[in-house]
Structure 1
Amino acid sequence: MSNRELPLSVASPGCEATPRTRPPMTAETAVEFAAVFKALADPVRLRLLSAIAARADGEACVCDLSAGIDVTQPTISHHLKVLREAGLLTSERRASWVYYRVVPDALTRLAEVLATEAGAVVSA
């Protein structure tokens, strides 16, 4: 049996398990956060999120987001859709324009999970 086939709960001989200080992340939580991190794992999406967050009230019109980002408008729309589906942005149509807003709670949850995994004390 190779190491890849060993169950996670079986320790190697001579290996002393260290005590847990908290329960590990559940499979469901890992799936949820993996989807969000996957949405953020693209430089264009990170720049778009940052561009929106940098605006007053964390909101920007789609017409203002293409400046400085060298991709087509349909590509920007695709990336905004991915961020919206990941729960990082909301959108609202106003006349012929769409305005995007950062979801602060989503970013707070990401910060909290990263801080927890790093062993940092998280304060609400």
Structure 2
Amino acid sequence: MGATKHEIYRKDVVKIAELLKAIAHPARLKAVLLIANSTDEDLTAKDIQKEIPLSQSTIAQHLKQLRDSGLVETQLRTIDKVNHLCYRINLQALNQIKKLIELLIKKSTIKQDDNVETLRNFYSKLQAITNWNQSFES
């Protein structure tokens, strides 16, 4: 049997790959954007399900993968006398993705075209999210 990824690659490389894998599905990416854009309150799975037309069990699986990767954090909250698992972005994980994108932009020799502009637009949205999330740092 061959070597595992943990034996071949540094821990930080494996971690960033896991973060990227976590957002590599449209439903999970949309969930991350919903969670990040919810600046006034944490979101519950029910709130997220209202915006993503998938079954409750599918949403739960996607949220578990985001949580397991470390991209989102959870906290048990009581809302109207009912306990809910609430989600928020993990700023440190988001900053790791941001640093990777910064490195790619800096090191890239891609000529200026629509793809570079798309990457820059994504980066500027990521920058806005990470700046907002500073208010949640402990």
Q: Same fold (TM over 0.5)?
A: yes
Letter in 2 for 1:54: N
Long gaps (5+) in structure 2: 1-7, 108-138
Normalised by the length of structure 1, the TM-score is 0.69
Long gaps (5+) in structure 1: 1-25
Q: Does 1:115 align with 2:102?
A: yes
Is contact 1:59-1:102 (8 Å) kept?
no
Deviations for 1:78-114, whole angstroms, at most 9, x for unmatched residues? 1011001111111112243110011112111111122
Q: Does 1:27 align with 2:5?
A: no
- Residue 68 of structure 1 deviates from its aligned partner by 2.8
Distance 1:57 1:85, change over 3 A: farther
Q: Corresponding residue for 2:24?
A: 41
Is contact 1:39-1:83 (8 Å) kept?
yes
- Residue 58 of structure 1 deviates from its aligned partner by 6.5
- Residue 63 of structure 1 deviates from its aligned partner by 1.8
Q: Corresponding residue for 1:54?
A: 37
Higher helix share: 2
- Residue 116 of structure 1 deviates from its aligned partner by 1.4
Is contact 2:16-2:96 (8 Å) kept?
no
Is contact 1:63-1:97 (8 Å) kept?
no
Aligned length: 95
- Residue 67 of structure 1 deviates from its aligned partner by 1.3
Q: Which runs of 4+ in 1 moved over 3 A?
A: none
- Residue 32 of structure 1 deviates from its aligned partner by 1.6
Identity %: 29
Letter in 2 for 1:99: C
Larger radius of gyration: 1
Q: Corresponding residue for 2:91?
A: 104
Is contact 1:53-1:59 (8 Å) kept?
no
Letter in 2 for 1:32: K
Is contact 2:43-2:86 (8 Å) kept?
yes
